[in-house]
Amino acid sequence: MSASSSFLPARPSLEQLRKRAKELLGDVRREDPTAVARLRPHIPTVKRATLADAQFVIAREHGFASWAKLKRHVLAVERPGDFDEANWGHDTWPFLVAVFEGREAAVREMLRVDPTLARAEYAYMQPLHYAVRGGRPTMVRLLIEAGADPLAEGWSRQIDEDTPLARARDREQSEIVALLEDAIAHPRPPGPPRDVRTTNAWRELENEMFKIGGSGDVTNALAMIRDHPGIAQAGLYEAIHHDRQEMVRFLIEQGADPTIPWRWACWYTPLMHSLRYPEPRYQTAQLLLDHGVQPNDTNGLGMATLHILAKEGTIAAAAWLLDRGADIHLHDREYESTPLAWAARAGRENMATFLLSRGAKRVLPEDEPWATAAAWARRRGYTRLAELLDAR
């Protein structure tokens, strides 16, 4: 990501950026002198300009090396639809975005007002994870001084793979790796503890609905929903986990949103939960698709169901989802990797072979060098898999 992201508005819209690119292309094709002048430094053959060319110019004008990098940045700073202020704190997401973008003055001021933000959290990810993802050594130093945890567990909750240090090693960020290793070797006093999670009457109701969803008791579920409008969402995860198809259908009809992940369920969406098991629940998965879920819907971390299936190695479920339109080349946000690269990261040789047979490309133009399938396999020590995935 470029440090020039400050050229973007406070709340950038990918839709608006796409619209501006289309407008620019139209002006160029009408040979508008100003539009042609904008393209000329970036696109040598202006007369044959395409939409991709116009998008590239928009990206460069905002300080990004490519449209793909601009798009990733905009998606990264967009507040997730499942963000729960009652659990994470109203100032947590603005703080994480400021860290990711490297806005040092804003981060210092927010820490002055609330020092516990150094250990704020969303989906098990802490501020240091965002500093690493943004490639921000200065921000890493600032957060370490504020008491951030260089060994925070991260999304997968595996210390050898998802801590800020592990993420920095994967991204081959030598300066940040050195900073985090030094922080571990010479630990500072931890920052003040942060606990914004609330225990209130609604949370207790959610817990009750959680259990009802798993039991499949539609009668009790209906009574709960009549007494407490909006509670249907809380029952959906357990209903899917226990493959209660009638309950799943009922809760969706009562207003539960099947695209939203449950916050304490590894951030898996309902579709992820229906297909990730050794024996996928295809009927439940189809029910979700029939009610508006899309095969490429992502969770709050930008991961799609096919990424999860690639990691788990459930080939039959991956084939089922690909047959229904899943994008085999979709990049997630946390690892900036395709499903093929997720398979490589997990050492799933059979899954990698299957994805290749379905047309997965070993390398894409927008891949970061550290995030290719072969790079993941080499780092994880899967020699034979690395050879299979080597684009050469």
**pLDDT per position in the chain (392 positions), as tens?**
444 455 677 778 889 999 999 999 999 888 899 998 998 888 877 668 899 999 999 999 998 989 988 988 888 888 887 777 877 888 999 999 999 999 999 999 999 999 999 999 888 889 999 999 999 999 999 999 999 999 998 877 665 678 999 999 999 999 999 999 999 999 988 888 887 666 678 888 988 999 999 999 999 999 999 999 999 999 998 999 899 999 999 999 999 999 887 766 567 889 999 999 899 999 999 999 999 999 999 988 889 999 999 999 999 999 999 999 999 999 998 899 999 999 999 999 999 999 999 999 999 988 999 999 999 999 999 999 999 998 76
d(CA 6, CA 201): 42
Strand partners of residue 298: 304
Residues of the chain with CATH 1.25.40.20: 85-185, 199-292
Determine the Cα–Cα distance for residues 298 and 317; give it in Å rounded to an integer.
17
Tokens (6 digits) for 321: 């989802």
d(C-alpha 132, C-alpha 95), whole Å: 15
- 85-185: CATH topology: 1.25.40
pTM, to two decimals: 0.86
Beta-carbon neighbour count of residue 60 at 10 Å? 19
CATH homologous superfamily of 199-292: Ankyrin repeat-containing domain (1.25.40.20)
Pick the closest to residue 366 from 312, 313, 392, 330 (CA basis). Answer: 330
Residues whose CB falls within 8 Å of the CB of residue 13, separated by 6 or more in sequence, listed in order: 74
In which residue are the tokens 């798993």 written?
A: 214
Could you identify the residue written with the tokens 């995935």?
Answer: 389
